[in-house]
């Protein structure tokens, strides 16, 4: 077992700061030894200080923050695309995102602190693939995809196919997360996000939930419900989502759906909360986010 | 002179981490990943090979070069259990808690020391872990100290008044159980210091975040086997303390490192280290009976409080001392017939216990206030009604409480009534039905408390006596010395106000000096500041004023009785045009005192030396044995809303009324109140030192040990009463702890009130969302089953 | 590995030779720059004591690799002073006793400065203030006087007393 050391030194580093995607791809060919791709470093530094990550033989740090091609927010033909290294605070206050996915802006406003949001990126939050990543449930609810760039090709993968376990995802070490895209919300669609932690602010979620609801003529035409911190990865609950399909959009039906959410998941007990509480909260937060969508759509 | 706040906000603070000396080396501690284990093998070779590493100190060196840590409090007498452990600042053969330092790496720079810290190789043989106080007291529990019979470190038994009569006269007896979780004070700055051992002179000087330099010198000198006169401890700017920076322990290792390397050695503690290997508090189980009459008259208590003290390894009795106030605070501000209280402390494999704001007073009061609320509920009384019925009345002071405390002054009913008015309690209660219909669970909590302040206890280092010095320098500025370090609680400003008020000089001309080990006293702990050091400073200033009067009267050739001192000027009311400034007075007194200046009697008595060093000790303690001198009062009323689906609590309103006697500076007092209240809210709702089954601390950072941020902290409405204490020099009372005592209790009381429909007794803290929700789920289940 | 970095700190441009594994906090506090108002505590971005402005925005300097700050403009709380004169925001903290031990204060001041600087509305609610400083932990003040200080500073700015 490792010694207890209050705060560890950062490893000996070779620092790379490619200015564009071509330079980054070329770097993958030449780089020697162990390397890490970083943007905001808000996860990297604590992981090293706390001893969760150690690099005894040194490390090459590839900082992609200055690649302009990865730093943008745009909306084209009803698709919103956000570059991977766009800081959380920029997304939060973006008019485009505010207009097309206000629930996502709200989710970001509940994450970490202003200081961390000013450097932390959405791509980083996704690539870290924590089950508690707070950007993810809203993005799953929005039906987002990620665009992954490798040496040979660029591919688009649905976000719900991206995560493979805690801290794990489908990306190879010479691939980089380029952007996230999702359809802009239409007038009959809404997304809401809520989370619960032991404190209100600057807190890791015990459970987070985001719901997407599309209601036509009082009938649920589509629903997506996503949860954080209740499984090894952020997840959707397909059975509960299917239950809503073509059901009348009433509070009773949404409450029934939320009960199904709680039955569909198998959370664990850990430092932050028990499995029972997580299951219980999943129902409450699913219900509340679904109801909030309904309130938006039936003013 | 530039005031302290201006200096600090301009970035001119000199905190421990700002200390820098030429050739300074850096020390980093290496801790055990096991909670309880035998050290089989410890290799430092790899660490020593890292370029820049100067030495690695282990338990072997501590045994070789230092003494075991000195005893700080010993109460073995009176048939009580009081066990102490024979340990060094770092262990040689056995670790007893997660994070316990087993080695210290000293290197040219901190980064190198940190890197080498991972390379110290230690082989452990893990032992069974004793995880909490109740388990520790089981007959077959793994023992922490081989030479102890069992893990029971302390067992104290107190009879206050006539407990048997109290229970004989009772109409009813109620059984009460409460549980408080383990917490820590967690100032934003960890501990830190620089040691410089001068090999030529065999002297040691240290600078750092020492809350009590005088005690630090005593204990570090004893550990290093040095005469105290060869050790000097200097407090620098301290980034918060709250009791956690009182005792010196790791500092001994830093001192030894300097001695072994001949270099200045700096240690700055990372926050995680401070939480894992720092002082902890609370973690108590209360169980007992309260006797009362059907009309709500309180009669007696029989109760036991069991403390989880963690290891008895670093502060040698001074932590266990906090069991005394826990037991003695139970009577609070009410009339009683008698009590039998037992205080038990168990050693466990957790970090050690030490002081944190409240220091046990909070525990006794929280227990009895909780009990009062349960009794009130049972009798159909409001929480205020039962309190108003049992309060000691304003005309009964000084009041000799059954536990030997001598209460100095106060208006207990007035304090509570004012708080109830401020929070519009009647209005909130009137709307409760309506709120419930809307699905809103709103509750009102009512708590009142005294704060025993300014400790003096025999048989331990908290002896009380305190020294202060006030000197007028030759240029007329005034220098003030005491033991009261500035830890953010306004020591410097308070002393400057006291001295300038007494001498009639300008506040800007008073310089309150940084505290060193040169002046005797235990520093700011147990809210001593406004009791002991402030009284000592005031007493010195008053004696000095007499000297000033004598000299000034002689220089001005006027009658001493006619002298006026104000605005930095000294003059006779008979002749206001002829004035002396303090500068003129000091120059004349020191440099030209000769025959034309001062009369021979003054010169013969040396009364022209405008410099007074004096001491102060409580006027009540010697006769009564009251271990505290002043007793400020507070009343807290909180209104909360509980989200019953998530268990989350939101504070809607918070009112606090405080009576700290004569107020020295309202802004400082208000600041103490706000800060204490929010710390109490953290304890009540979210702060939790959570050990896993292996004895590892899981909540060891700011992201897991959850102190309130600005978002959860409520706005706080504060009002004051001022009932002067007859027992202090200034009429003021110690007041730093009352806010945390009341707030942590009142939030729980308010949650309990909000959950009235579920009939839940909120007797466990912290009331995290998860815990509150689990109570609701269980209560609903019970309600359904009973249908 | 050593590497060159150019930083503009409090209106002075510095060409520095830094360790590639140094954080911005370590570089600011070193002997050359000596920005001792930037306090070190958790080193993991949780307490906010090391908050500085990087290109106008508050960041935890312990979470920024100094190398990645290349070319940026940094303001520490020392940089708000005009000679010996306190910035109106700092003055408000002194007047309202928005500090006790003073350790979290410089970081708190930087978050507050960023808030007030970019706040254009007349109205600034207490919750807006509290949210802006949620990443700056304070253990002494209970935040009440800090909120009062920031509110007072906003009034100073509205009255034209600001830089």
Query: Does B32 contact A277 at a Cβ distance shorter than 8 Å?
Result: no
- Indicate whether B2 pLDDT > 90: no
Q: What is the CATH number of the domain that holds C50?
A: 3.10.20.30
Q: Measured between alpha carbons, how far is B244 from B251 in angstroms, rounded to an integer?
A: 13
Residue B646 touches partner A, C-beta closer than 8 Å = yes
The 3 state secondary structure assigned to B402-441 is: CCCCEECCCCHHHHHHHHHHHCCHHHHHHCHHHHHHCCCE
The verdict on C17 and C73 lying in the same domain is: yes
- Residue B301 DSSP symbol: E
Selected for mutation to probe chain B from A1, A2, A3, A273 (highest B CB count within 10 Å) is A3
Query: 0.90 cut: is pTM over it?
Result: yes
Query: Does A201 contact C51 at a Cβ distance shorter than 8 Å?
Result: no
| Closest chain A CA to residue B768 | A198
Q: Measured between alpha carbons, how far is B47 from C104 in angstroms, rounded to an integer?
A: 34
Strand partners, B231: B204
Across the B:C interface, residue pairs with CB atoms under 8 Å apart total 171
Asked if residue C20 belongs to a domain, the reply is: yes
Q: Of chain B residues 766-785, which have a CB less than 8 A from chain A?
A: 768-770, 773-774, 777
Of C85, C94, C99, C91, nearest to C156 (Cα)? C91
The verdict on C6 and C71 lying in the same domain is: yes
Q: What is the pLDDT of residues B501-543, one digit of tens each?
A: 999 999 999 999 999 999 999 999 999 999 999 999 999 999 9
Q: Which CATH number fits domain B281-458+622-786: 3.30.365.10, 3.30.9.10, 3.40.50.300, 3.40.50.1970?
A: 3.30.365.10
Q: Measured between alpha carbons, how far is B448 from C114 in angstroms, rounded to an integer?
A: 41
Return all residues near B704 (Cβ < 8 A) that are at least 6 apart.
Answer: A271, B698
Query: Does C59 contact A65 at a Cβ distance shorter than 8 Å?
Result: no
Percent of chain B as helix, strand, coil, to the nearest 5 = 35, 30, 40
Residue A184 Cα distances to A158, A212, A236, angstroms: 16, 12, 19
The verdict on C110 and C55 lying in the same domain is: no
The verdict on C45 and C67 lying in the same domain is: yes
* Nearest by CB: C64 against A41, A49, A89: A41
- Indicate whether B669 pLDDT > 70: yes
Q: What is the pLDDT of residues B27-47, one digit of tens each?
A: 999 999 999 999 999 999 999
Q: Of chain B residues 666-685, which have a CB less than 8 A from chain A?
A: 685
The verdict on C149 and C113 lying in the same domain is: yes
- Residue A151 DSSP symbol: S
CATH of domain B466-520+532-617: 3.30.365.10
Q: What is the pLDDT of residues B249-305, one digit of tens each?
A: 999 999 999 999 999 999 999 999 999 999 999 999 999 999 999 999 999 999 999
Return all residues near A30 (Cβ < 8 A) that are at least 6 apart.
Answer: none
- Residue B113 DSSP symbol: H
Query: Does C42 contact B679 at a Cβ distance shorter than 8 Å?
Result: no
Domain extent listing, chain A = 13-63, 68-183, 189-297
| Closest chain A CA to residue B110 | A9
Q: What is the pLDDT of residues C45-68, one digit of tens each?
A: 999 999 999 999 999 999 999 999
Q: What is the pLDDT of residues B149-159, one digit of tens each?
A: 999 999 999 99
Q: Which residues of A touch C48 (CB under 8 A)?
A: 113, 115
Q: What is the pLDDT of residues B326-344, one digit of tens each?
A: 999 999 999 999 999 999 9
- Indicate whether B315 pLDDT > 80: no
> How close does chain B come to A64, measured CA to CA in Å?
26
Q: Does A189-297 match A68-183 at the fold level?
A: no
The verdict on C126 and C148 lying in the same domain is: yes
Query: Does C132 contact A118 at a Cβ distance shorter than 8 Å?
Result: no
Return all residues near A136 (Cβ < 8 A) that are at least 6 apart.
Answer: A125, A126, A159, A163, A226, A228, A234
The verdict on C121 and C59 lying in the same domain is: no
* Nearest by CB: C59 against A11, A50, A118: A118
Q: Which residues of A touch C132 (CB under 8 A)?
A: 114
SS3 B10: helix
Residues of chain A with pLDDT under 50: none
Q: Measured between alpha carbons, how far is B44 from B48 in angstroms, rounded to an integer?
A: 6
Residue B511 Cα distances to B259, B492, B502, C24, angstroms: 34, 8, 15, 36
Residue with tokens 């039962």: B386
Q: Are B97 and B310 spatial neighbours (Cβ–Cβ below 8 Å)?
A: yes
Of C96, C76, C84, nearest to C150 (Cα)? C96
Domain boundary among C54, C80, C106: C80
Q: Of chain B residues 91-120, which have a CB less than 8 A from chain A?
A: 98-99, 111-112, 114-115, 117-118, 120
- Indicate whether B595 pLDDT > 70: no
Total domains in chain C come to 2
> How close does chain A come to C96, measured CA to CA in Å?
24
The verdict on C49 and C107 lying in the same domain is: no
Mean pLDDT for the stretch of residues B187-206: 98
- Residue B627 DSSP symbol: S
Query: Does A5 contact B773 at a Cβ distance shorter than 8 Å?
Result: no
Element (H, E) at B62: helix B59-65
The verdict on C96 and C76 lying in the same domain is: no
Domain extent listing, chain B = 4-127+191-269, 281-458+622-786, 466-520+532-617
Q: What is the pLDDT of residues A226-281, one digit of tens each?
A: 999 999 999 999 999 999 999 999 999 999 999 999 999 999 999 899 999 999 99
What residues of A are in the B interface, CB distance below 8 Å?
Answer: 1-9, 50-51, 54, 196, 198-204, 206, 271, 273-274, 276-277, 280-281, 284
Query: Does B15 contact C126 at a Cβ distance shorter than 8 Å?
Result: no
Query: Does C68 contact A7 at a Cβ distance shorter than 8 Å?
Result: no
Selected for mutation to probe chain A from B112, B118, B688 (highest A CB count within 10 Å) is B118
Q: Are B345 and B382 spatial neighbours (Cβ–Cβ below 8 Å)?
A: no
* Nearest by CB: C135 against A17, A41, A202: A202
- What's the pLDDT band for B724 if we cut at 50, 70, 90? very high
pLDDT given at position B561? 96
End-to-end Cα, chain B, rounded Å: 73
| Closest chain C CA to residue B190 | C41
Q: Measured between alpha carbons, how far is C146 from C31 in angstroms, rounded to an integer?
A: 31
The verdict on C6 and C32 lying in the same domain is: yes
Q: What is the mean pLDDT of chain A?
A: 96
User: What radius of gyration, in Å, describes the C-alpha atoms of chain B?
Assistant: 28
Residue with tokens 């007498």: B77
Asked if residue C17 belongs to a domain, the reply is: yes
Of B618, B632, B630, B619, nearest to B722 (Cα)? B632
Bridge pairing between strands B101-107 and B53-58: antiparallel
Q: Which residues of C touch B237 (CB under 8 A)?
A: 101-102
Q: Which residues of A touch B773 (CB under 8 A)?
A: 277, 280-281
State both tokens at B706: 């959850």
Q: Which residues of C touch A11 (CB under 8 A)?
A: 21
Domain boundary among C80, C109, C140: C80
Residue B50 Cα distances to B32, B108, C26, angstroms: 21, 11, 21
Give partners of C (≥3 CB pairs < 8 A): A, B
Domain boundary among C33, C49, C80: C80
Give partners of A (≥3 CB pairs < 8 A): B, C
Residue B419 Cα distances to B674, B675, B714, angstroms: 15, 18, 16
Strand partners, A157: A146
> How close does chain C come to A61, measured CA to CA in Å?
9
State both tokens at B340: 């039998």
Q: Measured between alpha carbons, how far is A262 from A240 in angstroms, rounded to an integer?
A: 9
| Closest chain C CA to residue A50 | C44
Q: Are C27 and C17 spatial neighbours (Cβ–Cβ below 8 Å)?
A: no
> How close does chain C come to B346, measured CA to CA in Å?
29
Torsion, Cα B561 B566 B572 B578, to 10 degrees, reads 160
Q: Which residues of A touch C51 (CB under 8 A)?
A: 115
- What's the pLDDT band for B74 if we cut at 50, 70, 90? confident
Mean pLDDT for the stretch of residues C63-76: 97
Write the DSSP assignment of A18-87 as a string of letters.
-SSHHHHHHHHHH--S-EEEESS-TTHHHHHHTTSS--TT-EEEEE-TT-GGGS-EEEETTEEEEETT-B
* Nearest by CB: C97 against B242, B671, B710: B671
Strand partners, B84: none
Q: What is the CATH number of the domain that holds C149?
A: 1.10.150.120
Q: What is the pLDDT of residues B429-468, one digit of tens each?
A: 999 999 999 999 999 999 999 999 999 988 888 888 999 9
pLDDT given at position B1? 63
Q: Does B281-458+622-786 match B4-127+191-269 at the fold level?
A: no
Q: Roughly what angle, to the nearest 10 degrees, separates helices B412-422 and B383-390? A: 160
Q: Which CATH number fits domain B4-127+191-269: 3.65.10.10, 3.90.1170.50, 3.90.1010.10, 3.40.50.300?
A: 3.90.1170.50
Q: Which CATH number fits domain A68-183: 3.40.470.10, 3.30.465.10, 3.40.250.10, 3.20.20.70?
A: 3.30.465.10
Strand partners, B656: B636, B718
State both tokens at B590: 């020191």
The verdict on C132 and C109 lying in the same domain is: yes
- Indicate whether B733 pLDDT > 70: yes
Query: Does A114 contact C132 at a Cβ distance shorter than 8 Å?
Result: yes
Q: Measured between alpha carbons, how far is B570 from B578 in angstroms, rounded to an integer?
A: 9
Query: Does C97 contact B677 at a Cβ distance shorter than 8 Å?
Result: no
Query: Does C90 contact B187 at a Cβ distance shorter than 8 Å?
Result: no
- Indicate whether B554 pLDDT > 90: yes
* Boundaries of domain holding C11: 2-80
* Nearest by CB: B9 against C76, C86, C140: C86
Percent of chain A as helix, strand, coil, to the nearest 5 = 35, 25, 40
Q: Measured between alpha carbons, how far is B530 from B629 in angstroms, rounded to an integer?
A: 11
Question: What is the ipTM for the molecules in this complex?
Answer: 0.97
SS3 B273: helix
The verdict on C73 and C101 lying in the same domain is: no
End-to-end Cα, chain C, rounded Å: 39
Write the DSSP assignment of B547-561 as a string of letters.
HHHHHHHHHHTS-GG
Q: Measured between alpha carbons, how far is B245 from B16 in angstroms, rounded to an integer?
A: 12
Q: Are C68 and A65 spatial neighbours (Cβ–Cβ below 8 Å)?
A: yes
State both tokens at B711: 């978002």
Residue C106 touches partner A, C-beta closer than 8 Å = no
Residue C101 touches partner B, C-beta closer than 8 Å = yes
Write the DSSP assignment of B530-581 as a string of letters.
TTHHHHHHHHHHHHHHHHHHHHHHHHHTS-GGGEEEETTEEEETTEEEEEEE
Q: What is the mean pLDDT of chain B?
A: 96
Q: Measured between alpha carbons, how far is B738 from B661 in angstroms, rounded to an integer?
A: 13
- Indicate whether B787 pLDDT > 90: no
Class of domain A189-297: alpha beta
């Amino acid at each position: 077992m490792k010694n207890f050391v209050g705060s560890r030194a950062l490893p000996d580093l070779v620092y790379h700061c490619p200015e564009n995607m071509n330079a980054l791809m070329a770097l993958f060919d030449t780089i020697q030894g162990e390397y890490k791709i970083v943007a905001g470093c808000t996860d990297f530094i604590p992981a090293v200080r706390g001893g969760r990550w150690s690099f005894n033989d040194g490390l090459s740090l590839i900082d992609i923050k200055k690649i302009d091609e990865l730093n943008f927010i745009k909306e084209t033909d009803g698709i919103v695309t956000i570059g991977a290294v766009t800081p959380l605070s920029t997304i939060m206050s973006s008019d485009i995102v505010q207009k097309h996915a206000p629930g996502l802006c709200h989710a970001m406003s509940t994450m970490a602190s202003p200081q961390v949001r000013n450097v932390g990126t959405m791509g980083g939050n996704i690539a870290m693939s924590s089950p508690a990543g707070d950007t993810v449930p809203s993005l799953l609810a929005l039906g987002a995809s990620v665009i992954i760039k490798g040496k040979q090709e660029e591919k688009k993968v649905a976000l719900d196919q991206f995560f493979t376990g805690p801290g794990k995802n489908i990306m190879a070490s010479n691939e980089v997360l380029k952007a996230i895209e999702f359809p802009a919300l239409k007038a009959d669609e809404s997304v809401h996000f809520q989370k619960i932690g032991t404190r209100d602010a600057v807190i890791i979620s015990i459970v987070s939930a985001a719901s997407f609801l599309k209601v036509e003529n009082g009938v649920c035409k589509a629903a997506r419900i996503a949860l954080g911190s209740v499984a090894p990865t952020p997840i959707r609950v397909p059975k509960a989502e299917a239950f809503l399909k073509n059901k009348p959009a009433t509070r009773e039906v949404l409450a029934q759906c939320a009960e199904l959410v709680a039955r569909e998941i198998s959370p664990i007990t850990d430092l932050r909360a028990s499995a029972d509480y997580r299951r219980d909260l999943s129902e409450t937060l699913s219900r509340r986010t679904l109801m909030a969508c309904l309130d938006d759509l039936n003013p | 002179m530039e005031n302290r706040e201006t200096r600090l906000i301009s970035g001119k603070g000199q905190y421990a981490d700002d200390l820098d000396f030429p050739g300074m080396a850096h020390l980093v501690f290496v801790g055990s990943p096991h909670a309880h284990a035998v050290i089989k093998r410890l290799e430092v070779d790899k660490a020593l090979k890292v370029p820049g590493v100067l030495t690695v100190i282990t338990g072997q060196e501590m045994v070789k070069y230092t003494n075991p840590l000195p005893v700080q409090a010993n109460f073995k007498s009176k048939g009580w259990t009081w066990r102490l452990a024979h340990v060094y600042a770092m262990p040689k053969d056995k670790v007893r808690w997660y994070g316990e330092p087993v080695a210290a790496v000293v290197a040219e720079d901190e980064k190198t020391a940190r890197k080498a810290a991972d390379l110290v190789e230690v082989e452990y043989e893990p032992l069974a872990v004793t995880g909490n106080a109740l388990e520790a007291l089981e007959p077959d529990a793994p023992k922490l100290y081989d030479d102890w019979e069992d893990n029971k470190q302390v067992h104290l038994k107190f009879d206050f008044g006539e407990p048997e009569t109290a229970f004989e006269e009772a109409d009813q007896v109620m059984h009460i159980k409460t549980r408080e979780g383990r917490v820590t004070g967690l100032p934003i700055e960890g501990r830190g210091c620089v040691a410089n051992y001068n090999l030529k002179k065999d002297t040691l000087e240290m600078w750092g975040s020492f809350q009590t330099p005088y005690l630090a010198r005593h204990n570090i000198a004893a550990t290093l086997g040095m005469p105290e006169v060869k050790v000097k401890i200097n407090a620098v700017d301290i980034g918060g303390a709250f009791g956690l920076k009182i005792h010196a322990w790791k500092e001994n290792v830093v001192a030894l490192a300097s001695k072994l390397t001949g270099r200045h050695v700096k240690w700055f503690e990372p926050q995680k280290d401070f939480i894992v290997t720092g002082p902890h508090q609370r973690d108590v189980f209360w169980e007992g009976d309260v006797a009362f009459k059907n009309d709500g008259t309180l009669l007696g208590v029989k109760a036991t409080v069991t403390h989880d003290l963690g290891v008895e390894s670093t502060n040698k009795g001074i932590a266990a001392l906090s069991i005394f106030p826990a037991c003695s605070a139970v009577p609070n501000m009410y009339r009683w017939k008698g009590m039998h209280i037992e205080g038990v402390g168990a050693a466990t494999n957790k970090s050690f216990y030490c002081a944190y704001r409240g220091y046990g007073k909070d525990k006794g009061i929280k227990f009895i206030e909780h009990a009062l609320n349960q009794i009130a509920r049972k009798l159909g009384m409001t929480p205020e009604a039962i309190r108003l019925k049992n309060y000691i009345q304003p005309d009964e002071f000084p009041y000799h409480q059954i536990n030997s405390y001598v209460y100095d002054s106060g208006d207990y009913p007035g304090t509570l009534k004012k708080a109830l008015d401020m929070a519009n309690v009647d209005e909130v209660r009137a709307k409760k039905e309506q709120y419930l219909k809307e699905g809103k669970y709103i509750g009102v909590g009512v708590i009142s408390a005294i704060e025993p302040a300014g400790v003096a206890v025999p048989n331990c280092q908290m002896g009380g006596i305190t020294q202060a010095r006030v000197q007028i320098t030759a240029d007329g500025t005034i220098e003030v010395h005491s033991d009261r370090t500035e830890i953010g609680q306004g020591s410097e400003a308070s002393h400057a106000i006291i001295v300038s008020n007494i001498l009639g000089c300008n506040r800007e001309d008073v310089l309150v000096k940084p505290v060193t080990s040169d002046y005797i006293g235990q520093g700011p702990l147990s809210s001593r500041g406004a009791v002991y050091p402030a009284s000592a400073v005031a007493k010195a200033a008053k004696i000095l004023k007499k000297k000033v009067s004598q000299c000034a009267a002689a220089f001005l050739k006027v009658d001493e009785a006619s002298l006026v001192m104000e605005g930095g000027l000294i003059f006779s009311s008979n002749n206001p045009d002829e004035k002396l400034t303090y500068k003129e007075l000091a120059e004349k007194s020191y440099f030209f005192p000769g025959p034309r200046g001062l009369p021979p009697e003054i010169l013969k008595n040396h009364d022209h030396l405008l410099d007074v060093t004096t001491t102060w000790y409580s006027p009540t303690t010697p006769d009564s044995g009251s271990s505290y001198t002043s007793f400020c009062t507070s009343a807290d009323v909180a209104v909360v809303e509980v989200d019953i689906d998530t268990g989350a609590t939101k504070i809607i309103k918070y009112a606090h009324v405080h009576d700290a006697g004569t107020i020295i500076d309202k802004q400082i007092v208000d600041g103490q109140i706000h800060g204490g209240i929010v710390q109490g809210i953290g304890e009540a709702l979210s702060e939790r030192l959570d050990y896993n089954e292996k004895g590892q601390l899981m909540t060891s950072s700011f992201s897991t040990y959850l102190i309130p941020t600005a978002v959860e902290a409520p706005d706080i409405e504060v009002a004051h009463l001022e009932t002067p204490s007859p027992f202090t020099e200034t009429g003021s009372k110690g007041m730093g702890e009352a806010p945390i005592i009341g707030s942590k209790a009142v939030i729980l009381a308010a949650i309990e009130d909000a959950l009235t429909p579920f009939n839940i007794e909120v007797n466990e803290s912290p009331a995290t969302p998860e815990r509150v929700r689990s109570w609701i789920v269980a209560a609903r289940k019970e309600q359904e089953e009973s249908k | 590995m050593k590497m060159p970095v150019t930083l503009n700190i409090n209106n002075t441009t510095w060409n520095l030779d830094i360790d590639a594994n140094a954080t911005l906090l370590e570089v600011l506090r070193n002997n050359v720059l000596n920005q001792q108002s930037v306090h070190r505590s958790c080193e993991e971005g949780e307490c906010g004591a090391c908050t500085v402005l990087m290109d106008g925005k508050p960041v935890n300097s312990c979470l920024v690799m100094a190398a990645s700050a290349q070319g940026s403009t940094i303001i520490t709380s020392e940089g708000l002073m005009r000679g010996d004169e306190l910035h109106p925001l700092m003055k408000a903290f002194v007047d309202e006793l928005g500090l006790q031990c003073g350790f979290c204060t410089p970081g708190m001041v930087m978050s507050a400065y960023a808030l007030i600087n970019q706040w254009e509305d007349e109205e600034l609610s207490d919750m807006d203030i509290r949210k802006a400083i949620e990443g700056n932990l304070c253990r002494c003040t209970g935040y009440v006087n800090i909120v009062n200080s920031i509110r007072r500073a906003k009034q100073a700015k509205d009255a034209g007393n600001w830089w």
